Amino acid sequence: MAKNEIPHQDLNLSHIGKYVRVDLKNTVTEHETLAAGVLTRITHHLSIEEDNAPITRITVELAGTDVDFALRDDCPVRIADSLKELFGNT
């Protein structure tokens, strides 16, 4: 894992208000989407459709708009106190 990268299941209340970066991979189109913003909400669930696989739902403020994401396996997130730290090598 890259620096500042954690599994989505490890997100907790101490991460609220920090910058988060999520790399979402679409296996159908093989495209990758990057979302980065301020983390405003976290909820953890177990999927009833996929053998109780863990799902983390997060809300990220992007350009003043709250956007919801559902994170599943193979979707780590990066957490940082600043955008520079989030995208830089430090």
Beta bridge partners of 70: 57
Residue boundaries of the structural domains of the chain: 5-87
Helix (H, G, I), strand (E, B) or coil at 30: coil
Model confidence at 30, in pLDDT bands (50, 70, 90)? low
Distances in whole angstroms, Cα of residue 39 to Cα of each of 14, 29, 48, 49, 59: 10, 27, 26, 27, 6
Average pLDDT over residues 82-87: 87
Assess contact for 66 and 19: CB atoms under 8 A: no
Average pLDDT over residues 38-58: 82
Model confidence at 2, in pLDDT bands (50, 70, 90)? low
